[in-house]
C-alpha cells in the first residue's frame, strides 16, 4: 500500500476582510505520495503559497480535511514530519551558519555532541562545510538559501515544503541549486512539495506538476512529467523536457499555444 | 597643495584622528590666550591651566564626589531600565496592558524632572541618595521603554514562520527570536538613557539632599567665587557622562554588528 505524504480533500481557505470574505483556495483535491516530487505552479493569487502554508499548518484550513502522513497538519508540524524553506532564507543574523542549521535540533533538545555531528553532516550535504562559522550577512543569496535548506532537512523530515526558495536568485545559481535539490531529494528519499512560478523549474524538478488558477484559487490540471529519476544538465536540452514545458504552459494558459513553425 | 581631484577622495585614516584633536588644541590655545595673555575674558571664566591645576590638586575629593554622582546615575539607570524592560515586555504581550501603560508612559515622559526634584529630595531627607536615584530612574525609564517596546515588535514574519514550523513553544520563540531581535533596540535605549540619567542625577544635586556629589560641589564653588574649582568639577561631570556614553555605545555596537539578511 502506498503511503501518502500529503492528502487534501475538499480543502478551502477563506480570508475574512473588511469588504467581505476572500476565497483564496477552494475544493483542493491532491495527494502526494511518499518520496514524490510535486510542484505547484500558477499565476499570482492562485493560492499555491496558501496551500503550502495550510500543509505546513502555518495557517489553518477553512474547510476540508488535510492529512500529512495520515495525521492532521497541526500534529505533523509538532511532530516535525516536514521541513520548510521560504523565498527569503529567513536566517537569524546573530547566529552563525552552524547555529542556524542547528536551530530546530536545539529547539527539540538534542544534546550538544549529537547536534554538532548532525550539523557537520548537513553542512556537507549542502556543500557549506568551510562556511559553518560565517554569519549570514557574509554569505551570498544562494549560500543563504542552502543554509535554509540544510535547516529544513535537520530533523530528517520525510516531507520537504518549499515556497519559491530560488525565486530571488540569479538564473545560474538557480539552475545549480535545482540540480542540488534533486540530488538531495533523491539522497534523503523525502517527498517534496515545491511552489514556483517558473515553468522550466517545475518541469525540471517534478514527477508531477500541479497547475493552479486564481479567483478563486483552485487546481485546474495535474500533469505527470515522466522524465525519470535522472535530472541533469542533459535533460534541460532534451526534446522530452521541452515537450513537457509546452504542455505545462498550455495547461496554464488554458488553450494550445500557437507555435511559430506551425502557422 | 590640494588639487580638486584629491578633494574627491575619502580622507585617509589619520585625518579622522588628527582633525578633531586639532580643533580641540586650537580652542584651548584661544582660551589660554584670551584669559592669561590678553586678559579679555570675564572674571568667572578661569584659564584651562588653572582648571587643570585645581583638578590635580583636589583630585582626591573630586573623584570621591564623582563616585557619588556616578553611582547615583548607575543605580537610577539600572532601576529605570529594568522597570522599562518589564513593562515593555508586558505591553508587547498584551494589547490591554499596552493600552493601560501608554498614557502612564506619556505622563512620565512629560514630568518636568527639575520641578519634581526638590519634592523628592525633601521626601527622602538630607541623608539619603534615594531622591536623586529616583530622578535618574524616571529620566532613564522613557527612552528604554519606548525602544524596547518597538524592538519587541520587530520580529519578521519569515522568522516567526520558521520558528512555528520548527514546533517552537511560545517561550522558545521569545528566547531565540523576540529577545535577540529586541536587543539592539534595548542597547539604543540604554545609550540614550545613560547620558540623560547622568544629567538628571547631577541636576538633582542642585535641589537639596546630602552635601556631596559633583552637582552640589559645582553649585557651592560657583557661588563662593572659586570658578577654577567649579570648572574642575564640571570636567569631572563630563568625564562621567563620557564613560557612560562610551560603555553603552560599545554595548550597542556589539549587539548590532550583524546586519539582517
In whole angstroms, give the CA distance from residue B196 to residue A221. Answer: 65
User: Across the A/B interface, how many CB contacts are shorter than 8 Å?
Assistant: 64
pLDDT at A256 over 70: no
Domain boundaries, chain B: 49-258
Residue among B73, B85, B67, B83 nearest B195 (CA): B73
In whole angstroms, give the CA distance from residue B25 to residue B18. Answer: 10
Q: What's phi and psi for B45, nearest 5 deg?
A: -95, 105
Facing residue for B165 by CB, picked from A56, A89, A108 = A56
Rounded to an integer, the average pLDDT of A96-118 is: 92
Q: Assess whether the previous peptide bond of B214 is cis (omega < 30° from 0).
A: no
Q: Is B161 on the interface with A (CB under 8 A)?
A: yes
The per-residue pLDDT of chain A, averaged, comes to 87
With beta carbons under 8 A apart, name residues in chain B contacting A79: 167
B50 contacts B32 by C-beta, under 8 angstroms = no
The per-residue pLDDT of chain B, averaged, comes to 88
Using CA coordinates, name the residue in chain A closest to B255.
A94
Using CA coordinates, name the residue in chain A closest to B172.
A107
With beta carbons under 8 A apart, name residues in chain A contacting B168: 107
Q: What is the pLDDT of residue B80?
A: 95
Residue among B72, B64, B65 nearest B140 (CA): B72
Using CA coordinates, name the residue in chain B closest to A73.
B165
Using CA coordinates, name the residue in chain A closest to B256.
A94
Domain boundaries, chain A: 1-81+161-256, 88-156
With beta carbons under 8 A apart, name residues in chain B contacting A58: 161, 164-165
CA dihedral A210, A188, A68, A22 (to 10 degrees): -40
Q: How do residues A195-209 score in pLDDT, each as one tens digit? A: 998 999 999 999 999
Q: Taking CB atoms and an 8 Å limit, are B258 and A108 in contact across chains?
A: no
Q: How do residues B222-261 score in pLDDT, each as one tens digit? A: 888 888 899 999 999 999 999 999 999 999 998 887 777 6
DSSP secondary structure, A80-116, as one string: T-EEEE-SS----TTS-HHHHHHHHHHHTT--HHHHH
CA distance A74 to chain B (A): 10
Q: How do residues B1-59 score in pLDDT, each as one tens digit? A: 444 554 567 777 788 889 889 999 999 999 888 888 888 777 778 888 889 998 999 99
Q: What is the CATH number of domain A1-81+161-256?
A: 3.40.50.300
Using CA coordinates, name the residue in chain A closest to B155.
A92
Instruction: Please report the ipTM that was assigned to this predicted complex.
Output: 0.87
In whole angstroms, give the CA distance from residue A59 to residue A77. Answer: 11
Q: Taking CB atoms and an 8 Å limit, are B167 and A103 in contact across chains?
A: no
Q: Taking CB atoms and an 8 Å limit, are A56 and B180 in contact across chains?
A: no
CA distance A93 to chain B (A): 5
Facing residue for A86 by CB, picked from B158, B163, B168 = B158
Q: Taking CB atoms and an 8 Å limit, are A139 and B261 in contact across chains?
A: yes
Residues 6+ away with beta carbon under 8 Å from A133: A96, A97, A98
pLDDT at A2 over 80: no
Q: Is B159 on the interface with A (CB under 8 A)?
A: yes
With beta carbons under 8 A apart, name residues in chain A contacting B159: 90, 92
Facing residue for A77 by CB, picked from B158, B167, B260 = B167
Q: What is the CATH number of domain B49-258?
A: 1.10.3720.10
Q: What is the pLDDT of residue B13?
A: 79
Q: Is B172 on the interface with A (CB under 8 A)?
A: yes
A194 contacts A205 by C-beta, under 8 angstroms = yes
Facing residue for A107 by CB, picked from B156, B172, B258 = B172
Q: What is the pTM of this model?
A: 0.79
Residues of A near B (Cβ–Cβ under 8 Å) read 56-58, 77-80, 82-84, 86, 88-94, 103-104, 106-108, 135-137, 139, 144, 151
Using CA coordinates, name the residue in chain B closest to A75.
B167
With beta carbons under 8 A apart, name residues in chain B contacting A84: 161-162, 165
Q: What is the pLDDT of residue A120?
A: 92
Residue among B174, B156, B145, B172 nearest B81 (CA): B145
Q: Taking CB atoms and an 8 Å limit, are B258 and A135 in contact across chains?
A: yes
∠ CA A232-A241-A250, nearest 5°, is 145
Q: What is the pLDDT of residue A258?
A: 54
In whole angstroms, give the CA distance from residue B92 to residue B153. Answer: 7
A41 contacts A209 by C-beta, under 8 angstroms = yes
Question: Which of A90, A159, A160, A165 is the mutation pick for testing B, counting most B CBs within 10 A?
Answer: A90
Q: What's phi and psi for A25, nearest 5 deg?
A: -155, 135
Amino acid at each position: 500500500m502506498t503511503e501518502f505524504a500529503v492528502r487534501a480533500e475538499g480543502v478551502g481557505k477563506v480570508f475574512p476582510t473588511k469588504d467581505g470574505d476572500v476565497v483564496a483556495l477552494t475544493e483542493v483535491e491532491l495527494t502526494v505520495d511518499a518520496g514524490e516530487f510535486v510542484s505547484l505552479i500558477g499565476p499570482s493569487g492562485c493560492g499555491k503559497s496558501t496551500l503550502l502554508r495550510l500543509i505546513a499548518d502555518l495557517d489553518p484550513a477553512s474547510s476540508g480535511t488535510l492529512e500529512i502522513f495520515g495525521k492532521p497538519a497541526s500534529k505533523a508540524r509538532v511532530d516535525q514530519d516536514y521541513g520548510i524553506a521560504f523565498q527569503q532564507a529567513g536566517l537569524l543574523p546573530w547566529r552563525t551558519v552552524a547555529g542556524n542549521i542547528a536551530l530546530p535540533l536545539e529547539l527539540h533538545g538534542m544534546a550538544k555532541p549529537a547536534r554538532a555531528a548532525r550539523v557537520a553532516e548537513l553542512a556537507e550535504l549542502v556543500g557549506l562545510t568551510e562556511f559553518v562559522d560565517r554569519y549570514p550577512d557574509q554569505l551570498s543569496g544562494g549560500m543563504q538559501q542552502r543554509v535554509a535548506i540544510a535547516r529544513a532537512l535537520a530533523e530528517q523530515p520525510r516531507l520537504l515544503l518549499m515556497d519559491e526558495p530560488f525565486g530571488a536568485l540569479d538564473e545560474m545559481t538557480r539552475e545549480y541549486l535545482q540540480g542540488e535539490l534533486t540530488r538531495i531529494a533523491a539522497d534523503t528519499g523525502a517527498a517534496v512539495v515545491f511552489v514556483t512560478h517558473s515553468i522550466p523549474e517545475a518541469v525540471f524538478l517534478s514527477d508531477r506538476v500541479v497547475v493552479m488558477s486564481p479567483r478563486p484559487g483552485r487546481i485546474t490540471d495535474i500533469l505527470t512529467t515522466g522524465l525519470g529519476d535522472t535530472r541533469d544538465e542533459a535533460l534541460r536540452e532534451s526534446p522530452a523536457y521541452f515537450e513537457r514545458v509546452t504542455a505545462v504552459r498550455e495547461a496554464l494558459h488554458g488553450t494550445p499555444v500557437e507555435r511559430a513553425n506551425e502557422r | 597643495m590640494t588639487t580638486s581631484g584629491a578633494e574627491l577622495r575619502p580622507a585617509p585614516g589619520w585625518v579622522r584622528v588628527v582633525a578633531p584633536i586639532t580643533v580641540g588644541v586650537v580652542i584651548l590655545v584661544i582660551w589660554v590666550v584670551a584669559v592669561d595673555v590678553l586678559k579679555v575674558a570675564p572674571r568667572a571664566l578661569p584659564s584651562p591651566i588653572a582648571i587643570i591645576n585645581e583638578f590635580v590638586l583636589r583630585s582626591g575629593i573630586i573623584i570621591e564626589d564623582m563616585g557619588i554622582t556616578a553611582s547615583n546615575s548607575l543605580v537610577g539607570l539600572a532601576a529605570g531600565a529594568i522597570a522599562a524592560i518589564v513593562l515593555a515586555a508586558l505591553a508587547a504581550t498584551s494589547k490591554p496592558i499596552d493600552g493601560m501603560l501608554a498614557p502612564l508612559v506619556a505622563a512620565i515622559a512629560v514630568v518636568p524632572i527639575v520641578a519634581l526634584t526638590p519634592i523628592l529630595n525633601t521626601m527622602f531627607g538630607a541623608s539619603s541618595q534615594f531622591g536623586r536615584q529616583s530622578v535618574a530612574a524616571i529620566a532613564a525609564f522613557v527612552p528604554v521603554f519606548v525602544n524596547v517596546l518597538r524592538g519587541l515588535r520587530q520580529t519578521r514574519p519569515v522568522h516567526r514562520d520558521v520558528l512555528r514550523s520548527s514546533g517552537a513553544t511560545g517561550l522558545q520563540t521569545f528566547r531565540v527570536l523576540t529577545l535577540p531581535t529586541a536587543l539592539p533596540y534595548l542597547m539604543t535605549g540604554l545609550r540614550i538613557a545613560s547620558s540623560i540619567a547622568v544629567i538628571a542625577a547631577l541636576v538633582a544635586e542642585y535641589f537639596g539632599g546630602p552635601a556631596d556629589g559633583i552637582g552640589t560641589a559645582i553649585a557651592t564653588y560657583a557661588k563662593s567665587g572659586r570658578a577654577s574649582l567649579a570648572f574642575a568639577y564640571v570636567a569631572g561631570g563630563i568625564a562621567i557622562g563620557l564613560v557612560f556614553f562610551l560603555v553603552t555605545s560599545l554595548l550597542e555596537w556589539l549587539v548590532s554588528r550583524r546586519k539582517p539578511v
